[in-house]
Amino acid sequence: MKIKFNAEGLQTIDVSSQSRLLDALLSRDVGVKMLCGGRGLCATCHVYVVKNPEHLTPPTSKESLTLAVLTGARANSRLACQAHVIGDDIELAFPEGLYIDSFESLEQLIGQRTQVPILHPVTGDILVAANKIIIRTIVEELKNLDFEISKVKYTDAKNQH
């Protein structure tokens, strides 16, 4: 079965039936962080299924809840850790941005200009817009931000339906 990536430098990859999309991404060294360990609790493996979404297993209830709180989620959004390949010729695109996993990771970017937005790993919220120089003031404003994956607000997601 084939998966095509809609990203520069990435090509088509062959995968076996029932394999996770995440495994295909990891085999291509795509920058997924998998901060929740593949449990469907974060946004760091979020993808858009551009072609043949029916060739993936249906979203799990956990995946649906996580996507419900994810900024930037669309009707064709999936979590690669939860979606398994069941058909051929799937095409994927990636959200624009870099998921940050800790305050320390953000501090390491001080003085650099962002090429893409810096995103929260759980909600996908833009923490720093693209093309901004990350200065200490920005980092200090984000100092109390909660990066803990296990605190996804599923109750909020349930209330949105």
pLDDT, tens only, 23-35: 887 877 776 778 8
Total Cβ atoms within 10 A of residue 8: 5
The reply to whether 155 falls in a domain is no
Same domain, 86 and 24: yes
Does residue 153 lie within any of the structural domains? Answer: no
Could you tell me which residues are beta bridge partners of residue 29? none
Please name the residue ranges forming H helices in the chain: 21-27, 61-68, 103-107, 136-141, 154-159
Domain boundaries, position 41: 2-93
Domain count of the fold of the chain: 2
Q: Answer whether residue 77 is part of any domain.
A: yes
Residue 99 above 80 pLDDT? Answer: yes
pLDDT (0 to 100) of residue 149: 66
Q: What is the CATH number of the domain that holds 49?
A: 3.10.20.30
Q: What is the pLDDT of residue 64?
A: 94
Among the candidates 70, 93, 116, a domain finishes at 93
Tokens of 107: 């501090």
The last residue of a domain, from among 93, 108, 135: 93
Which tokens go with 122? 């759980």
Q: What is the value of pTM for the model shown?
A: 0.80
Query: What tens digit of pLDDT does each residue of 126-154 get?
Result: 999 999 999 998 888 888 877 766 554 44
Whether 26 contacts 32, CB under 8 Å:
yes
